[in-house]
Each structure stands twice: as C-alpha cells, then as structure tokens.
Amino acid sequence: MCRMTSVRTLAVLLLCALHFWSAEACGQWYGSADFLIPTRTAGTDLAFQYHETTSGTDTTVSSAPILTASDVRPDFTAAGRFTVGVRHGTFGVEGSYLLTKDWVSSASASDPDALMASPFTLTGSTPDPLFDDNTFVSVRYQTELANMELNGLQEVAANEVSTLDVLYGVRYMKIGESLDYMTINAGGDDVRWVSTENQMIGPQFGLAGHLVAPGGMFNLTLKGGYLFNSIDRSREVHNSAAEIDSFVADGSDQGSLMGELGIEYQFNATNWLSWRLGYQVIGVSDVGLANLNLIEGSDSGVQTSGVWYQLPYTGAVIYF
C-alpha cells in the first residue's frame, strides 16, 4: 500500500508539472540515468556455528566460532537509478527511483568428527543431539534494496559561482532479506528459512549545494529523515531428528532514522547533455535483518540493527 501511494503521488506531481510546461509556465526539464555498484554493511556479526571441545568423555560447546555473518557478507552488486525533474526559477520538483540487483552470498563448513555446534545451544553447555554434533553446515544470505524519492527544491542562496537549495520531500525504502540455514548430523538435518521485509516511508529534509568547477560543477547533498517502518517476518523450521515442521509469520511497526550524504562532479558535454561521477552513502537504523532473527524465539519481537549502503555511481543527465 505504501509503495502504491508513493507511485501515485509521484505520477500526479509529474503530470501537474507537465501541464504547467505545456502552458509555457515552467522552465528546465531534465532526466538522468545512473549505474551504481553498491556495497552493504550491517552492524551486527553473529556466529552460525561453534566449535565443540572434548575433555575426556565430556564434550561442551565452546565460544570459538566456525562460521559467522562475516563469512556470508555480500560484497557488491549492480543497481540502476532513474531521475526526472523540472526547475522553474528558484523552485524545482524531482523524483527518483533506485533498484538494486539482489546481493547473494553463501558459505559452508564441514567436520568429519562431528564437532560443530549450532547457535541454539549456549556456550559451555553439553551439545544437543537434535541441533549439534554436526558434520556439515551451510548458510545462504540474500538481500535487496529499493528506494524512491519525491522532493521539492527551493533556492535560498546564490552567487556567481554557487547556489544552495533547501530540500524537502518524502522517501520510500524497501529492504528485503532472506537466510537459508542447514546442518547435518547423525540424526538427520536441521533446515531453517528466515525472511524479513522492511517497508519504510516518511518525510525527509536536507540541503543541496552546487559549486561551479572547470568543465562543469560539483554537487553536494545532505539528507535526513524519520521513516515509519512496517516489518514483516517469516520463519520456517524442519528438523528430522526432532520431527519438527513449523512456520511462523509475524511482524512489527517501528521508526527508523535515515541519513544520506552524496558528492558528485558533473561534466557539461553539451548544452543538453552532462556526464557525472559520484559517491553516495545511506544509513538506516532499526532494520529487521534476517540473520538476527534466526535464533530469537517468536515471542521476543523482530530483531533489528542498522545498515549502511555505499553507492559509487556514474551516469548521464539530459536537459530538454
């Protein structure tokens, strides 16, 4: 629903701008397309598997991890961003949409001596034969990002070499994640699937500065906002030794803080075409992450953490 509302709002405002343009009441239209290579960093690193230690006939779960979230941390992926805007005097309206290709990463480990323990057993405890004493573990992590913005721009300061705009608008973000976890021991397999979907929408404010440079200009953007975050979570468990087959779907509503910093150089190739090269960082708090929700029980609420995205990009701007 939030996503459809954002799309309708963007479409209505662009149609209104088109009406003014046809009436010769608006100024410069422009559109851009960017190619991005984003990376993603989450704030929490947890273990998916621990070593088991033996002393005589006793075996306990140690605190030394074998496989952690760092081992399945996605490196980079491809993304595209499209922007349409119009500038009339000191006021402008701009809408953009960004979509990443899924980040996918996987890792595994094996031990023929069956001395690997799950994260479900406390360190220092005796291994549970239903979940521990594993000979094989495999983890697959997948995540994606979609971002939509609609902003108004109002020039508040200008001189011969620079201008400064105040930015205000609305942002919609969607962060979806999934985690596949599987272990094998003498009793069979333990397979778990966890997925989370964060749909965030809310107001944002910021500043956009422009400085004339040789061949073009430098652009600096700073944004911040508070987003309403509707989180959906689902978990499925199949454990052959314990004869468990379960599925739980729940969620929660939270508030997330968002911050963005961007810098770019724009080279004016002609009076209607520019090339640009830039770097952007986006940080979001209180995001429901799939790996954090592997261990916690269904009555403990959705587990969240912060996420950072770094987005180097290059693209073209067309004026018409």
pLDDT of res. 22: 43
Contacting residues for 198 by C-beta, under 8 A, at least 6 apart: 173, 174, 175, 176, 229, 230, 231, 256, 287, 288
Residue type, 300: S
pLDDT of res. 132: 94
pLDDT of res. 206: 98
pLDDT of res. 75: 82
Residue-range domains of the chain with CATH:
2-12+35-46+79-107+138-319 (2.40.128)
| Nearest residue to 199 via CA among 161, 129, 148 | 148
* SS (HEC) of the chain: CHHHHHHHHHHHHHHHHHHHHHCCCCCEEEEEEEEECCEEEECCCCEEEEEEEEECCEEEEEEEEEEEHHHHCCCECCEEEEEEEEEECCEEEEEEEEEECCEEEEEEEECCCCCEECCCCCCCCCCCCCCCCEEEEEEEEEEEEEEEEEEEEEEEEECCCEEEEEEEEEEEEEEEEEEEEEEEECCEEEEEEEEEEEEEEEEEEEEEEEEEECCEEEEEEEEEEEEEEEEEEEEEEEECCCCEEEEEEEEEEEEEEEEEEEEEEEEECCCCEEEEEEEEEEEEEEEECCHHHCCCCHHHCCCEEEEEEEEEEEEEEEEC
Report the residue count for the chain.
320
pLDDT of res. 56: 79
pLDDT of res. 316: 98
pLDDT means per 10 residues, the chain with 320 residues, are 51 52 65 96 85 88 91 89 95 96 93 93 91 95 96 96 97 96 94 96 98 96 98 94 90 95 97 96 95 73 92 96
pTM of the predicted model as reported, rounded to 2 decimal places: 0.87
Kindly tell me the burial class for residue 220, based on how many C-beta atoms sit within 10 Å of its own C-beta (0-12, 13-18, 19 or more).
Answer: middle
pLDDT of res. 21: 45
